[in-house]
Structure 1
């Protein structure tokens, strides 16, 4: 019996995907995440599924909160949706995210990670990096949630990934990525910089004696 997941359309991974090992920079428990860019004409079915599930959950939670707080006109805050429509490019970018370490209410924990498969359904070893530009599909789980601070949201959890074209190069941000997309300008160029000479870098000389060194401590 197949697991209940939703299969995304085929798309291209954006910068900094973390599907092999979790990102722990901002979350010590680790987080798997990736952005999948899909042509707009292929994205509509997934958009409809997200919106339908979100609306249903939003209405359920709102009704429960209205009864709980006895405020029949209460409207809950809506968190950002897990996608961005880029009309100029004719694409939609879906955002996938999943915690690596799950902490249950009873205090127990367990680890999880996305299952990785190639186009032939073979398991991809964990050390094979799936990088930006790879063409993939996700088997996703929809996870609706609510917190008073953030509001009602829905997360696309990457339960599994199927890779059709592998690009395992890591992303290196260039000037265009940060918005410097105009032509080259006159001025400083690192290509003209003389090699750094550590022995002749100017400034005060380092202390020559043990007594002089000790004065700094």
Structure 2
């Protein structure tokens, strides 16, 4: 039995934007209201479904949770769900859930923390990079990504990579320690026969290779939802030359090209599908040495598969 019974959640619109409202059942004026940052009803429903699924998981783990505890969880869950859908730009403008009472109808937006940026050392980008244009997946086969993805998996010599590796690990450990502390203060309480989702750590956003080099996995969405018009707008990737000058017409960049990458870090908690870790979010790229697709130095072209004595184009 859940001690706090929620009324049926519902949507409403303000200035054309969809909002979600939750409240406990009964004649109480207290409620939780949040902007879903979209005018699209179908998208609002998808976001709401994700929020309610995660909130229900917490509620069933802790059936004695009070409305105040549920409201606190709803704020944190909604932030993660909206961040996953709308990306970094709208996360900065995200207006956190508001607890409202009958005495006031004012809304107080929160200010997102300022990002810290890091620069990678010089490294070699892997063949699956998406820098000149975003990767939209394969919609025909059901693996499409309508928002697109900028991606650069960068391999750096081990000694050069160590300072950034330490920064990532420190970011993760601080976040994981806080999550564990919160978990211990509010341990999940489940009905008999159900197992709690215990804390666990996921994979780090880098791989240490056999030769001691380190490959950093860096990416971000290629579009965002405009907070004024709610339209899906492109979020271009800035690429500069070796002197820091912006490149207007970005060339086709193949695996084997030499780059430096500017990035930020986004730590996250454990879920049923992934453990707590850190995302490396791509901000911009410096092109130091260009390798074009199909060139002799390309890691993702055919020249390395050449066959002697075969057909040659004139």
TM over 0.5: yes
CA RMSD of aligned residues (A): 3.2
CA-to-partner distance for each residue in 1:141-185, whole Å, 9 max, x for gaps? Answer: 111122522121211111011111111225237898xxxxxxx9x
For 1:141, the equivalent position in structure 2 comes to 264
CA distance in 2, matches of 1:74, 1:46: 31
Matches within 5 A, 1:1-217: 4-25=116-137, 26=143, 27-70=145-188, 75-86=198-209, 88-102=210-224, 108=230, 110-149=233-272, 150-169=274-293, 171-172=300-301
Gaps of 5+ in 2: 1-114, 138-142, 190-195, 295-299
Gaps of 5+ in 1: 177-183, 185-189, 193-217
CA distance in 2, matches of 1:100, 1:78: 28
Worse-superposed segment, 24-33 or 52-61: 24-33
Q: Which has the higher helix share?
A: 2
Aligned partners of 1:62 and 1:75 also within 8 Å: no
CA distance in 2, matches of 1:123, 1:31: 20
CA distance in 2, matches of 1:130, 1:89: 25
TM-score with structure 1 setting the length: 0.69
Greater Cα radius of gyration, structure 1 or 2 = 1
CA-to-partner distance for each residue in 1:120-159, whole Å, 9 max, x for gaps? Answer: 2111124422221111111111111225221212111110
Aligned partners of 1:66 and 1:74 also within 8 Å: no
CA change 1:120–1:105 in 2 (3 A) is closer
TM-score with structure 2 setting the length: 0.49
TM-aligned CA deviation for residue 114 of structure 1 = 2.5
Figure out how many residues of one structure are paired with residues of the other and give that number: 177
CA distance in 2, matches of 1:173, 1:145: 39
CA-to-partner distance for each residue in 1:168-214, whole Å, 9 max, x for gaps? Answer: 225237898xxxxxxx9xxxxx959xxxxxxxxxxxxxxxxxxxxxx
CA distance in 2, matches of 1:105, 1:141: 22
Q: Which consecutive aligned stretches of 4+ in structure 1 deviate over 6 angstroms post-superposition?
A: 104-107, 173-176
